[in-house]
Structure 1
Amino acid sequence: MNIIDRFLAVQSAIRKKLQLVGIIALLLTCKYEEVSLPVVEDLILISDKEMLMVNALQFNMTVPITYVFMRWFLKASQSDKKVELVSFFLIEPCMVEYKMLRFPPSMFAVAFVFTAQCTLGVSREWNTTSVGKLTGVHRKYITSKYGNAARREPSFLLEAWF
């Protein structure tokens, strides 16, 4: 999505070509990020405009993302596995919330590392109002594999954001 947004910010595209823009962005992302690529022959007819997109982005393909900042802040704060798991538990459902786009990835990440650190001082179980609509994330982090991070109650700081 970031590549699509940045491309459309510098290059206009008619509505009929937006699917092409999306496919090319996907192909570029796969080439850059993934180990296994989609079959290029399947995309060859629609990917002939790849260079237009790459040139419009001035070959600037890497952007800092929240996950990278989370790793940096967790390491800098010498956090243990519990803080790490609670941080990721708290941030995952928020990353799909539109209103969270107003925060830069670095601020977003550091806030959740700090919130996780504050949260770990609380030992009460999560209640149903804390789970919200995204129950898949809750079910993931309530397992022992993820350190039962969902059994913690979030700090007041997280609640203030919503």
Structure 2
Amino acid sequence: MRRSGRPRQQILSMEKNILNSMAWNLTVPTPYVFLVRFAKAAGSDKELENMIFFFAELALMEYGLVTVRPSLVAASAVYAARCTLKRSPIWTETLKHHTGFAEPQLLEPAKMLVMAHAAAPDSKLKAIYKKYSCEQYGRVSLRAPAVAAPQRLA
């Protein structure tokens, strides 16, 4: 037996009216929302911040990360950036607390980001690589890809 879509439409319409009357704006969460908070938790300086955003933009091009939660992509960008810049410790209790992710959860997505960084100079799609090779972004894309934690990302 098939139900009529009418009650559903009425409920959705009423929800829309309520949200509009409260002046709410609903959006889809993107990694950027999480990046700002996670970068702050990482105690980022400008170089680390640029590297984090470089990895986050590389993630947009990675098919394997399309279905990954935006918060996990953002945390993985922080992890990959800290590995690339040889920050120690790579993952802290503070980062674990603020991101909600333990280091083992970040290894696969971070590995994908590091591999994308390694492949970027020879890629056909170089816009992100070129953008982050400019002085304005600290030339972070020109840094050697992460090998600081071979047991983790290798």
After TM superposition, is the score higher than 0.5?
Answer: yes
Q: Is the CA contact (8 Å cut-off) linking 2:118 and 2:145 kept in structure 1?
A: no
Listed one character per residue, the Cα deviations across residues 119-139 of structure 1 (whole Å, up to 9, x for unaligned) are: 0139xxxx9844223211111
CA displacement at 1:103 relative to structure 2:
1.0
Q: Which residue of structure 1 aligns with residue 36 of structure 2?
A: 71
Q: Does 2:128 align with 1:149?
A: no
Alignment of 1:1-162 (within 5 A): 55=13, 58=16, 61-121=26-86, 129-131=119-121, 132-155=123-146
SS in 1 for 2:66: helix
CA displacement at 1:56 relative to structure 2:
9.8
Query: Which structure has the higher relative contact order (CA within 8 Å, separation 6+)?
Result: 2
Letter in 1 for 2:51: V
Counterpart-to-counterpart distance in 2, 1:102 and 1:142: 28
Letter in 1 for 2:142: R
Q: Is the CA contact (8 Å cut-off) linking 1:115 and 1:154 kept in structure 2?
A: no
Counterpart-to-counterpart distance in 2, 1:92 and 1:86: 10
CA displacement at 1:106 relative to structure 2:
0.5
User: CA-atom RMSD, angstroms?
Assistant: 3.4
Q: Is the CA contact (8 Å cut-off) linking 1:64 and 1:105 kept in structure 2?
A: yes
Q: Is the CA contact (8 Å cut-off) linking 2:51 and 2:140 kept in structure 1?
A: yes
Identity of aligned residues (%): 34
Q: Is the CA contact (8 Å cut-off) linking 1:90 and 1:112 kept in structure 2?
A: yes
Unaligned runs of 5+ in 2: 20-24, 88-116
SS in 2 for 1:137: helix
Letter in 2 for 1:73: F
Counterpart-to-counterpart distance in 1, 2:38 and 2:77: 10
Question: Alpha carbons of 1:143 and 1:65: their partners in 2 closer, same or farther (altered >3 Å)?
Answer: same
